[in-house]
Amino acid sequence: MKTSIIIPTYNEEGFIESCLKSLDNQSLRDFEVIVVDDGSIDKTESVLSNLQFTNFNLQILRQKHRGPALARNLGAKKALGEILVFVDADMTFDKDFVKKLIAPIIENQTIGTFSKEEYVVNWNNLWARCWNINSNLPSKKRLPGNYPNKQKVFRAILKKEFDRVGGFDRGGYTDDWSLSEKLGKMAVNAKGAKFYHKNPETFDEVFRHSRWVAKRGYKLGIFGFVVALVRLSLPVTILVGLYKSIRFRTPLFFIFKLVYNTGATLGIFEYFLLKKGEK
């Protein structure tokens, strides 16, 4: 069962090479890699054109900037594998990652998987650590210790199942949940599939990513939006920022919190206005 690894990219000139080199070191050999450049305006295209790999065929696709959901769908459309694997350009992987990720699918235990063994690759960066503090996550990990063995985000899935429901829907930060919702099924944890993911590590990245995270639907409709905005309000921001700065002995977390909540507030208003305009 050949595997196709699909990577949506947007302005990832600093990370895509490390990601691809990590895949080139996989113990599994029978796979292809498809990078979909989602309208990058940095040097991503130039970096990709100068890379060569020994253990997989690299296919590079390009589209106008339409978001990761549609980039993944384009990659899946061109994929030759029976199993699709979706990773991000700022990830790197243990050498057995792909092999262990797809094992439950090959063994007919499930139609798709994810991995709970997701670690922060840039833990030495202060803002990356602040991201975990803000998200109430344990040190060096991207998921809480009590995370369930099933989730909505598929990291790997049978292509026939992906195609049957038409892939991902475009919907902002939670667009990768749409596949699970259309399938009526969740991804199952693949034990031992260890990988590393980058946390935002500059003010600009924190602002942009928090803005992106906030662009999603909220439970209870308009009431959910109001609750989210109250949590992001300046008084609450100051209280939480000061409390966590003291608790975790990280004074600059207060600045992080101001930047994060400003970006998230903007993202909520943008999402609300977008949805209002669609009606």
Does position 274 have pLDDT exceeding 90, yes or no?
Answer: no
- Pick from 176, 197, 218: which residue ends a domain? 197
The answer to whether residues 260 and 178 belong to one domain is no
Do residue 168 and residue 263 come from a single domain?
A: no
The verdict on 74 and 189 lying in the same domain is yes
Does residue 135 form part of some domain? no
Instruction: Specify whether 151 is located in the same domain as 229.
Output: no
Q: Is residue 137 part of a domain?
A: no
Q: pLDDT per residue over 181-218, tens digit each?
A: 999 999 999 999 999 999 999 999 999 999 999 988 77
Provide the β-strand partners of residue 58: 33
Residues 261 and 231 in one domain: yes
Please tell me the total count of domains within the chain.
Answer: 2
Same domain, 241 and 184: no
Domain end among 180, 197, 214: 197
- 25 vs 18, 29, 58, 156, 190, CA distance in Å? 11, 9, 14, 19, 20
Q: Are residues 72 and 106 in the same domain?
A: yes
Is there a domain that residue 108 lies in? yes
Q: Which stretches within 27-67 are classed as H helix?
A: 44-49
54 or 72, higher pLDDT: 72
Domain CATH number, residue 19: 3.90.550.10
Does residue 239 sit in the same domain as residue 260? Answer: yes
Cα 183 to its chain centre, rounded Å, is 20
Kindly state whether residue 240 falls inside one of the protein's structural domains: yes
Say if residue 95 is in the same domain as residue 231.
no
Residues 114 and 22 in one domain: yes
Q: What is the pTM of this model?
A: 0.91
**Mean pLDDT in the chain?**
94
Q: Is 133 inside a domain boundary?
A: no
Look up the domain containing 251 and give its range. Answer: 203-278
Q: Is residue 76 part of a domain?
A: yes
Q: Do 216 and 274 belong to one domain?
A: yes
* Strands lying side by side in the sheet with 83-86: 57-63, 31-38, 3-9, 83-86, 156-158, 112-114, 187-189, 150-151
* pLDDT tens by residue, 213-266: 998 877 777 788 889 999 999 999 999 999 999 999 999 999 999 999 999 999
Which comes out higher in pLDDT, residue 264 or 54? 264
- Judge whether 255 lies within some domain: yes
Task: Please say if the pLDDT value at position 132 is more than 80.
Answer: yes
Residue 127 one-letter amino acid: W
Do 183 and 256 lie in a common domain?
Answer: no
Rounded-to-integer distance, Cα 72 and Cα 198, Å? 20
What mean pLDDT is predicted for residues 125-147?
Answer: 96
